[in-house]
């Protein structure tokens, strides 16, 4: 419907210019064509233009995944930048990124507890001063009284087991992620709960916080 409307507008515009003999340099070539030839030419040109526009348009999944990359840039974690977006009916309900709780000094200021204790990635998630992006997105929705039941969660990184349990009980039905995470328990629980987990690749990798933040909070 939209494509047909654009074609009709383009065709009408050029036909009106031709019939009114309002020739300009940019349409000089059309003097050599009759109305039928011009109509066919413009129809083919409009098809090409529409196809080009549609080919450059991202899918909804890619669109929301790209937004998670932008959200992740707000991270205050010095090890990994993660962003999450909760979506329902193609509408964003809440967002979240990983970092220390509001009012608590950032890890970029006081150092990383997990690095100090030499905790391996995917292990002992409770030994961390920060809140994961998925947790923050769910908390933000709850804080503002927004139900996430039946929603989808987009995240730059596959959720850990703690986040997986929260996602299951929050009623989220689908997870889209870009990068994997070494947590077999999380994958097993999500599969058992019947939550679809889909990997989307090809978007920009977010970077962890490298400098000292200027006193802002999560």
Q: Looking at the annotation, which residues are catalytic?
A: 134
E runs forming strands in 78-130: 83-88, 91-97
What 8-state DSSP symbol labels residue 16?
Answer: H
Alpha-carbon gap, residue 90 to 61, rounded angstroms: 9
Cβ(61)–Cβ(177) below 8 Å: no
For helices 35-55 and 2-19, angle between their N-to-C axes, nearest 10 degrees: 140
């Amino acid at each position: 419907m939209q494509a047909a409307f654009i074609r009709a507008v383009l065709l009408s515009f050029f036909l009106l210019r031709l019939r009114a003999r309002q020739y300009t340099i940019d349409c000089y070539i059309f003097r050599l064509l009759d109305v039928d030839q011009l109509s066919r030419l413009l129809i083919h040109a409009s098809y090409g233009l529409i196809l080009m526009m549609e080919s450059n348009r991202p899918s909804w999944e890619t669109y929301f995944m790209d937004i998670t990359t932008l959200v992740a840039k707000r991270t205050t974690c010095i090890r990994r930048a993660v962003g999450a977006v909760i979506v329902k009916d193609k509408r964003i309900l809440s967002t979240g990124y990983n970092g220390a709780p509001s009012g608590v000094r950032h890890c970029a200021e006081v150092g990383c507890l997990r690095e100090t204790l030499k905790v391996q990635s995917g292990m002992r998630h409770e030994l961390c001063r920060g809140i994961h992006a998925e947790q923050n997105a769910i908390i933000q929705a709850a804080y503002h009284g927004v139900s996430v039941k039946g929603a989808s969660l987009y995240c730059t990184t596959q959720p850990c087991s703690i986040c997986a349990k929260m996602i299951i009980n929050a009623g989220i039905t689908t997870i889209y992620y870009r990068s994997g995470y070494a947590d077999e328990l999380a994958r097993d629980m999500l599969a058992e709960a019947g939550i679809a987990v889909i990997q989307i690749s090809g978007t920009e990798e977010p970077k962890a916080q490298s400098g000292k933040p200027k006193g802002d909070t999560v």
